[in-house]
Structure 1
Amino acid sequence: MSIQRMLFFLFALFCFTLSITNTAMGETKPNIVFILVDDLGHADVGFNGSTYYETPNIDALARDGLIIENAYMYPTCSPSRTALATGKQSFRTGVYTVPVLEKGDDRENIFSRWTVGEEHTMYSQPLADAGYKSIHLGKWHLVGPYPKEELAMKFPLKKKLPQPDPWDFSWVPYHKEHCRPYYPEGRGYLKNVGGTYRGDPALEVGGYKSKTGGYFAPFSNPFIEQKPDDEWLTDRLTDEAIEFMDVHQNDPFFINLHYYTVHRPIRGRSEELVEKYMKKPGDPVTGQGMESGKKKVVEAEYATMIESLDDNVGRIVEFLDKNGLRENTLIVFTSDNGQNVGHNDTLRGKKGYIYEGGIRVPTFVNWPDRIDVRRTSIAVTGLDYFPTFMDLAGIDYDGVLDGQSFTGLFQGEPASLRDRPLYWHLASCYKHGACSVIRKNDLKLIQFLADGKLEVFDLRTDPSEEHNLAETNPEQTQALLNKLVEWRKENDVPLPPNSAVR
């Protein structure tokens, strides 16, 4: 053998050995399954204490993973999903809430944008550049009904943005022909199943009052191709996720599985399941299943939607296990805001409120043998997912990100995450007035912008936020307020015209 051939052989052997070593050390890109449930409350799962709802598959994953006790989003879906996708605070994107939900006039509000402009990169784009095969399934809600007209408007707006009736499909041709940059396929995904501008699946005459509610087939969603065996939307989205993973087993894949469930309209999965929960005793601690009459029926129907969600999470895990993909697949499970329909008497507020019931969500990450199994009290926000995904994929992303990777939590409790302050800024009104918020360690300060009113809570001793410490703890209150004001000034955070603070 010549020296050149010998050197070539040794080099090839070295590269092969290095490849095997890297794989053994976990340096290959992991598959990522990102399950985002719509309106699932913090206590709507067994791993956070529910005894009324049944989530055995979800609970098993949580018990074998990292449960993030203090996981936060915005109080409504539009800003949460925008923060997740872009890694940016609401003041950078202008998405403060769901536009049609806003209350009041243009002095009380900086009316929210609906469409996320092309200048804001989404995590799916660098992932695609790095070789990930990605699919989006379910709720998108990152584009408005008239995106080009909206983005051409002069901001701030004088009135909130409208939307068509659910059964008005006049927007569909325009979206399919001209709005690709604002849809998943224009953002690095290979396929979009069910993602539209709508925040719910009830795209038929009657909307929420329709018989199917968008959950039973035939689906009225123009971005879901009808199939003869369709029955239930949550099942169909899972079918598509499994089919995509099956096709791309040899690639790193990213599954953006953003179920519409358990968003209204509430529909019972079956009469048998509804009857099961009608007979089941309620939970006096959380208040779940404790209603009577028509409200009890809605609670039971809601419980069947959660059970169906759990069944489908089980199907995802079963596929990964059967195909030898589980070891190199990270599963992330969370919700976009607090519960809307369900109960949780242990936390104050629900969807739409800046209190814990509106922003604290059930969350875990599961990756066999790569994560120290436990429950952590370190706080994480929706802004942290983008940098976390970049970290997992080995991507050196240099764009603007307001969050921080939480991969350090997988095998430790880093001080950089434990000691950092978290911020929210809601410049439009929905359930309450516009406000800014800081949470540092266990203390949370809310400053309402119209009158400057302060509320301070110690979340460790008072998770239900019953005792305002603003006057009794003036030094801590002032220290938090100073940091909040400094953050607003440093970032040039916009305030509504009627704001009494600066």
Structure 2
Amino acid sequence: MIHKKSAIFFLSFIIFNSCFKDKRSSVNSKKPNIIFILIDDLGYGDVGFNGSTYYETPKIDALANEGLVFDNAYMYPTCSPSRTALFTGKQSFRTGVYTVPVLEEGTNNENIFSHWTVGRQHKGYSELLSESGYKMIHIGKWHLVGPYPTEELAMDWPIKEGLNQPKPWDFSWVEQHRSEAVKQYYPEGRGFLKNIGGTYRGDPALEVGGYNSETGGYFAPFSNPFLIKKPNDEWLTDRLTDEAIEFMDEYKETSFFINLHYYTVHRPLRSRSDKLFKKYMNKKGDTILGQGLELGEKKKYVARYATMIESLDDNIGRIVRFLENNQLREDTIIIFTSDNGHNNTSNNRLRGSKGMVYEGGIKVPMFVNWPSNINKGRTNTPIEATDYFPTFMDLADIDYKGVLDGKSFTSLFDGKTDEDLLDRPLFWHIASQYKHGTCSVIRKNNYKLIQFLKDGSVELYNLEDDPMESIDLSETKIEIKEELLNELVGWRKNNKVPLPPNSILKN
């Protein structure tokens, strides 16, 4: 028997989807353009629309305020598992990507060492969108292939030692990466017409000195072998935006998808200009979030970071101006988010940072902007990295039958609540060590339970009352702890989720 509440919701969902598609087709018969903007290491509180008064993001804020802001958008704590989950729609235990391989700490007894290359058995959203007619380009960070993919994929997994990478100035890998054998793991082998600047690297510092080099990869001449030099090159974020605008101009009569995955604001940090640097060195700090209050070298670090955020904001403004000038705004969805929490900056409202499963490491800024097709506002409904793939399929009207761990969030575009999305549990499984031990996590109904895999210890937090995760409720909210723990263990068992060898848990 179908529950009355479920039946009403199901009927409402069908009606919304029908209206959603009718509205879309009335604007233009072609499928909507999609610009997927993924920032690297941008924290939840590093934008004005989430409360920052130190970092300046007026153009981004304008888009957010005219769109739908997701207050509980989540990623993994580091970029590799986030980007893999986004691309495949699958949880880490399916792909074997738990963190960035070179960040893993400890032995094969403490870790299930991570894959780097996403194998061809895992379909990417770009392949399906391309097959449906989208003209697609990938711009910026890729990070879904390892430096030695042929050797990596031939290994007997699980491996006994973690993967490594060459020095930033060692380009011996490039020839193999340009070969037909390896191109299949690059954007061109995944449905994109072009790859602009995407390599195995997680940062742009491909030059002598790496992070300590003069330009850090952000100032020209760029040493990226997949970014052809141009006479007017100056600043990497500007150049990547140029590429996005050129592609949109070329394919504006068709449906295009821009994978605009900026390297900014990943380290090594560089000031966009001396003028901007001085501006932020002298600017009053944010006493609530703690941004810009630092002293000495840390103050300089944060000021450089702020100049990169302002530059990002300027470039998002350029994207919007192009769309407006070419009458493309109504037909174009802009999705903006980050791949993990803030890295070595401040947010006094959230615990932790990049690399941690606490909110500061996994909660990210996120909004969707689509004029006349989305009711503007904010939603508390939690979403995670695996939800983007099915959302893209929904927007493109693609019926995909493959394995997906996420759910489309287009049902939220009308400003109403989707009870199925609101009440479902979100899961994380981190089977390799970085900033803390291996763990599994469940978030449900504003509660978040972390189980550490080595000894089975548990932490429980009420995120609504205690977003700083300062009060562990595992000894006082016994019933809630047991309920969430049973659901987490059941999820692992049902999915045959692997545990590191040193875990005392049965599953």
Aligned AA for 2:125? Y
Correspondence for 1:169 among 165, 168, 171: 171
Which whole-Å deviations, capped at 9, do the CAs of 1:223-267 have from their partners, x for residues lacking one?
000001000000000000000000000110000000000000000
Instruction: Give the superposition deviation at 1:413.
Output: 1.2
Report the Cα distance in structure 1 between the residues aligned to 2:404 and 2:495, rounded to whole angstroms. Answer: 13
Displacement of 1:26 in angstroms is 6.0
Q: Distance in 2 between the 1:183 and 1:409 partners?
A: 33
- Residue of structure 2 equivalent to 1:497: 501
- Taking structure 1 as reference, are residues 408 and 347 closer, same or farther at Cα in structure 2, changes over 3 Å only? same
Equivalent position of 2:325 in the other structure: 322
Indicate the residue corresponding to 1:67 in structure 2. 69
| C-alpha distance in structure 2 between counterparts of 1:491 and 1:469, whole Å | 28
Deviation at 1:24, TM superposition (A): 1.1
- Residue 420 of structure 1: CA displacement? 0.4
Residue number among 452, 458, 461 corresponding to 1:454 in the alignment: 458
Q: Report the 3-state secondary structure (helix = DSSP H, G, I; strand = E; otherwise coil) of the residue aligned with 1:257.
A: strand
Partner-residue secondary structure (3-state), 2:184: helix
- Measure, in 2, the Cα distance between the counterparts of 1:94 and 1:300: 37
Counterpart contact for 2:342–2:361, Cα < 8 Å: yes
Q: 1:75 to 1:21 in 2, by over 3 A?
A: closer
Task: Give 1:99's aligned residue.
Answer: 101
The CA deviation at 1:500 is 1.3
Matched, 1:45 2:40: no
Q: What's the CA shift for 1:341?
A: 3.0
Q: Give the counterpart letter for 2:493 in structure 1.
A: K
Give 1:470-485 correspondences, 5 Å limit: 470-485=474-489
Which residue of structure 1 lines up, in the alignment, with residue 250 of structure 2?
247
Give, in whole Å, the separation in 2 of the partners of 1:26 and 1:92. 38
Give matches, 1:339-418, under 5 Å: 339-411=342-414, 412-418=416-422
Trace 1:111-130 onto structure 2 (pairs within 5 A): 111-130=113-132
Aligned match of 1:422: 426
Q: Within 5 Å, which residues of 2 pair with 1:232-243?
A: 232-243=235-246
Identity %: 67
Shift of 1:147: 0.3
Q: Provide the residue aligned with 2:276 in structure 1.
A: 273
Task: Determine if contact 2:82/2:339 at 8 Å carries over to the other structure.
Answer: yes
Larger radius of gyration: 1
TM-score, length-scaled by structure 1: 0.95
Q: How far does the alpha carbon of each residue in 1:374-411 deviate from its partner, in whole angstroms, 9 at most, with x for none?
A: 11100010100000000000000111000000000101
State the shift of 1:295 in Å. 1.2
* Structure 2 CA distance for aligned equivalents of residues 236 and 475 of structure 1: 54
1:22: Cα distance to partner? 7.2
Displacement over 4 Å in runs of 4+: 19-22
Q: Report how many aligned residue pairs link the two structures.
A: 484
Partners of 2:23 and 2:373 within 8 A in 1: no
Give the superposition deviation at 1:25. 5.9
Q: Is the 8 A contact 2:71 2:379 kept in 1?
A: yes
Residue 8 of structure 1 corresponds to none
Call closer, same or farther: CA 1:299–1:474 in 2, change over 3 Å: same
Secondary structure at 1:235's aligned position in 2?
helix
Deviation at 1:28, TM superposition (A): 3.6
Cα distance in 2 for residues equivalent to 1:343 and 1:281: 15
Mapped to 1, the partners of 2:469 and 2:504 lie a distance apart of 24
* Equivalent residue number for residue 303 of structure 2: 300
Q: C-alpha distance in 2, partners of 1:180/1:214?
A: 23
Q: Distance in 2 between matches of 1:76 and 1:387?
A: 22
> Residue 165 of structure 1 aligns to a residue in which SS?
coil
Aligned-residue RMSD, C-alpha:
1.2
Q: What TM-score comes out, normalization by structure 2 length?
A: 0.94
| Structure 2 residue matching 1:275: 3-state secondary structure | helix
Using the alignment, how far apart are the partners of 1:378 and 1:90 within structure 2? 22
1:143 pairs with one of 120, 140, 145:
145
Maintained 8 Å contact 2:30/2:254:
no
Contact 2:27 2:330 in 1 (8 A): no
Corresponding residue number in structure 2 for 1:432? 436
Q: 1:465 aligns with which of 449, 452, 469?
A: 469
AA partner of residue 156 (structure 1)? P
SS at match of 1:115: coil
Match of 2:337 in 1: 334
**Match of 1:327, SS?**
coil
Q: Distance in 1 between matches of 2:501 and 2:22?
A: 60
Query: Which of 149, 152, 155 is the equivalent residue of 1:153?
Result: 155
Decide which of 274, 294, 300 is 1:291's aligned counterpart.
294
Distance 1:288 1:449 in 2: 34
Using the alignment, how far apart are the partners of 1:341 and 1:135 within structure 2? 31
Aligned AA (2:242): D
AA in 2 matched with 1:80: S
Aligned residue in 2 for 1:11: none
Establish whether residue 83 from structure 1 lines up as the match of residue 52 from structure 2.
Answer: no
Structure 1 counterpart of 2:177, which letter? Answer: H
- Structure 1 CA distance, aligned partners of 2:241 and 2:348? 32
1:309 aligns with 2:312: yes
Structure 1 CA distance for aligned equivalents of residues 260 and 225 of structure 2? 18
Q: Which of 210, 214, 233 in structure 2 is aligned with 1:211?
A: 214
CA distance in 1, matches of 2:438, 2:265: 27
Partner of 2:231: 228
Deviation (angstroms), 1:20: 11
Amino acid at match of 1:200: D
Q: Deviations over 1:346-397 (max 9, x none)?
A: 1000000000000000000000011111111000101000000000000001
CA distance in 2, matches of 1:378, 1:295: 35
SS of alignment partner, residue 182 of structure 1: coil
> What residue in structure 2 maps to residue 10 of structure 1?
none
Mark the runs of 5 or more structure 2 residues left unpaired by the alignment. Answer: 1-20
Distance 2:28 2:188 in 1: 30
The aligned counterpart of 2:7 is none
2:11 is matched with none
Task: Give the equivalent residue in structure 1 for 2:446.
Answer: 442
